[in-house]
């Protein structure tokens, strides 16, 4: 059971991209019971938390390095979570993964997320 991430690409520094992640059929009927998150893994580095949004969309969380540039949102009717990325920097280059977990207290711990997407590559050139 995998989430389907899309929207990655090659852009220049300062550009914008919007990633999307669709829920698999296995959780669409209970999608609004899941917190959603984005993680990323840069070459040679460990995967890290980027952003998360609560099941109802009221609460969101960001890693410090993307605050003010990235916005996470969700459309529970369409079962999709988005990551709007503005003012992209070369250090944002990574494979971006979406993840889902049954709604609970906020956490960046990857092991707490039950479902993962296959990843989408984002490359930012200087």
Residue with tokens 């019971």: 33
At residue 12 the predicted structure's pLDDT band, cuts being 50, 70 and 90, is: very high
Residues 69-88: tens digit of each pLDDT: 999 999 999 999 999 999 99
Residues 31 and 24: beta-carbon distance below 8 Å: no
Q: How many CA atoms lie within 13 A of 1 on its CB side?
A: 12
Give, as one character, the DSSP assignment of residue 23.
P
pLDDT value, residue 94? 98
At residue 121 the predicted structure's pLDDT band, cuts being 50, 70 and 90, is: very high
Range from 12-21, 22-31, 65-74 carrying the lowest mean pLDDT: 22-31
Sign (positive or negative) of CA dihedral 110, 111, 113, 119: positive
**Average pLDDT of span 5-11:** 96
At residue 1 the predicted structure's pLDDT band, cuts being 50, 70 and 90, is: low
């Amino acid at each position: 059971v995998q989430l389907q991430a899309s929207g990655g690409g090659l852009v220049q520094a300062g550009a914008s991209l919007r990633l999307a992640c669709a829920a698999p059929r296995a959780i669409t009927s209970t999608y609004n019971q899941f917190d959603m998150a984005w993680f990323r893994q840069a070459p040679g580095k460990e995967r890290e938390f980027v952003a998360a949004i609560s099941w109802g969309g009221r609460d969101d969380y960001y890693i410090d390095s993307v605050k003010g540039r990235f916005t996470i949102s969700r459309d529970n009717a369409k079962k999709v979570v988005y990551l709007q990325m503005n003012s992209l920097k070369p250090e944002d280059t990574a494979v971006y993964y979406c993840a889902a977990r049954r709604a609970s207290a906020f956490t960046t711990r990857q092991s707490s997320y039950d479902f993962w997407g296959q990843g989408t590559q984002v490359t930012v050139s200087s």
